[in-house]
Structure 1
Amino acid sequence: MVSEPNFTTPSPGGGCPPVGIQLEGVILPPVLTIDVILGLVGNLVALWIFCFKLKAWNPNIIFLFNLVIADFLALVSLPLRIDALLRGHWVFGDGMCRINLFLMFSNRTASIALMTVVAIYRYFKVVHPHHRFNRMTKRQAVFVSVFVWLLVITPRVPMLAYNHMKGSKNKTQCFFFTSYKEASRAIIILVGMHRILTVMEFILPMAMLLFCSIRISMFLKERRMGKPGKMRKAMRVCAAIVMVFMVCFLPTTVTTIGVWVIRSYRPWDCTAFYTFTQLTIVSLGLNFLNSALDPIVYVFSSSMFRKALVDAMKLVSSEGWLGSALERGRLTSDI
């Protein structure tokens, strides 16, 4: 058990002292290492299939490909974070600190936005098959993807403009929210914007995902389309995305709200602030688990991807259990 630090009471100058590295220094390195290994394996396979095995792309594939790019941006940021946690301090300088934080938080937003687009695309395919949205061209899908990236990056750009380093020499830390006392007014505003985004970018897409899932289920039941097995297959896309959302992003949202409430209504309670801030940082490990789980979304979201994966597995072993399992679950066409 990690001992309780001595800086959980307000300092004479007001505000709570920096949090530093305690609990996250023990838990995060192995968790992030697993995230990197699983994420790289899954996404390298996905990238190989997208680039070399898919002969024809559709809007859904374009959205999924952008999700792979978002995952890689996150994965390249993690080794530096793992190194800093193992050392106990940050050695890569202010510039890399800014870029690292920018990539970390941009990935979360990009993954959420792109998974939501995939779910909405499936919703229109099933519930509104004649809607003009379903006649989207590949060029239009690229424009949608670019718009999503601009929407994701714009609110995070200010993170690159400010110094997030704390401490000096062999005690430097690179964290976005570690104290009240040392923060300038600009940083306080930036952190406030970050917390609002963290909460809203979970709640709004989650509501849209639940709406899409419920409407797809109701539509198929009302129309009695196909067999129960077909209904389950149509629901797997939204179910897979909802699962990733709940596992990877709900903990960070809850702990961020906790820090927000304490900062606003109990600024003297440094013990609670320390606890929730530590939990917020630790929950980042689950945030990056989405890079390892996203390949599940690819499999459930596209029969083209699934068929290409099955064919690739057959090259390895035509009798392999994984290839056989995927072959049995393959859909003949995208809904």
Structure 2
Amino acid sequence: MNNSSNNTSVSCLGESQHVSIVVLLCIVFFVGFLLNIFSLWVFCCRMPCWTSGTTLQFHLALSDALATPVTPMMAVYFAMGNDWPFGRFLCQVKISLLSSHFYGSTIFLTLISIHRYTAVVHFNRSSFMKRKDFIKKLCGGVWLLLLIQSLVYGFMLPPSREEGHSQCLTIHQKKLTDTYFTINFILFIFGFLLPFFVSAVCYGRLANTLTRLNINSAKGLKVKLKSQRMIGMCLVIFLLCFLPLNVVRTVGVILKKYYPQQCHTLQQVETAYYATWILAGVNSCLDPLLYCFGSQNFRDAFQSLRIGQGDVPNRSDSEMTGNQI
């Protein structure tokens, strides 16, 4: 029996998700929202002048905050037994915001790793990545790319009726099986593997430089410790938050395309996929730690809240070599 006949003869619907997934999803994204709103406030109100690194951090925090409006809709969707009650437009909004959130985060994390590598390894050389005007244009280009991507995916993946249930962004939408399969591998390769590879290369080169760094001085030791924390945090975010999401989704679309009759397995994979959303949401909680580890400006701004100082002095990229992302 070929794939198309399998899809028409077998009907699989997602099961109602356990209440723990709903609760954890809401908690993680709510905590992430609070942390990133606080981070955005620090960037906008406590840092009068931004460096190129601060600009990248701000846009990362902005992309992290995008998933918050989706969370209440997802909670209702799960509570109603995987029956989408909000119509076509809000389904497309959900897809657009989630894609911009997840892949905006990986892109900006990658740009931060490139910037960090440039600032530390090539601190004596001029670079476009150290120029604020270039970084602003680069971030604008990233948002334009994310907007185009989100609109395309939103229109290519509309909600559909499956056995009386309205489905939105699930592997159980039979007519979208091939579309999900194609989009998944585009996202997996260009939205995860390529950014992770670039970040790993940058941090590998950075780690190699740190092994030769003179740590006899207090400044050298400080630069090494902060850079090591940056490397560790970025790799944790990629491997803990984004790897499970992409791997489980890939397994799901492969099963749906080639083994659509395995309903129980598909339902288990779907539950695992939603669980990986929780891990992906942890990214929004970890990124503020990234700002603290990598940016002296951010730490100064945060500490000024405790001691009642005014706006903190902003440090240039040259002054922040080893401290500024």
Measured against the shorter chain, the TM-score band is 0.7 to 0.9
* Residue of structure 1 aligned with 2:205, choices 202, 212, 215: 215
Offset of 1:51 from its aligned partner? 1.0
Distance 2:101 2:225 in 1: 30
Partner of 2:124: 130
Partner of 1:164: 159
> Is the 2:178–2:257 contact (alpha carbons within 8 Å) kept by the matching residues of 1?
no
1:71-220 matched pairs, under 5 angstroms: 71-88=64-81, 89-133=83-127, 136-162=130-156, 163-167=158-162, 171-179=165-173, 182-183=174-175, 187-200=176-189, 201-220=191-210
1:259-278 matched pairs, under 5 angstroms: 259-278=252-271
Offset of 1:289 from its aligned partner? 2.0
Provide the TM-score with structure 2 as the length reference.
Answer: 0.84
> Is the 2:115–2:129 contact (alpha carbons within 8 Å) kept by the matching residues of 1?
no
- 1:168 to 1:303, Cα distance in 2 relative to 1, 3 A: same
SS at 2:123 equivalent: coil
- 1:16 to 1:136, Cα distance in 2 relative to 1, 3 A: farther
1:60 aligns with 2:53: yes
Unaligned runs of 5+ in 1: 1-9, 317-331
> Is the 2:70–2:94 contact (alpha carbons within 8 Å) kept by the matching residues of 1?
yes
Give per-residue Cα distances to partners, 1:140-159, cap 9 Å, x unaligned. Answer: 11111012223333333222
User: What amino acid is the match of 1:237?
Assistant: M
Partner of 2:294: 301
Deviation larger for 93-102 or 265-274:
265-274
Deviation larger for 37-46 or 266-275:
266-275
Aligned length: 304
> Is the 2:106–2:192 contact (alpha carbons within 8 Å) kept by the matching residues of 1?
yes
Distance 1:14 1:219 in 2: 57
- 1:13 to 1:297, Cα distance in 2 relative to 1, 3 A: closer
SS at 2:49 equivalent: coil
Partner of 2:22: 29
Q: RMSD across aligned C-alpha pairs, in angstroms? A: 2.6
* Residue of structure 1 aligned with 2:32, choices 9, 18, 39: 39
> Is the 2:56–2:108 contact (alpha carbons within 8 Å) kept by the matching residues of 1?
yes
Unaligned runs of 5+ in 2: 310-318
SS at 2:192 equivalent: helix
Distance 2:128 2:92 in 1: 40
- 1:263 to 1:168, Cα distance in 2 relative to 1, 3 A: closer
User: What amino acid is the match of 1:43?
Assistant: N
Distance 2:71 2:7 in 1: 35
Distance 2:85 2:129 in 1: 51
Distance 1:100 1:310 in 2: 36
Distance 1:108 1:284 in 2: 10
> Is the 2:96–2:153 contact (alpha carbons within 8 Å) kept by the matching residues of 1?
yes
- 1:289 to 1:147, Cα distance in 2 relative to 1, 3 A: same
Distance 2:183 2:93 in 1: 16
| Identity in percent | 23
Offset of 1:16 from its aligned partner? 4.0
- 1:274 to 1:37, Cα distance in 2 relative to 1, 3 A: closer
1:233-312 matched pairs, under 5 angstroms: 233-312=226-305
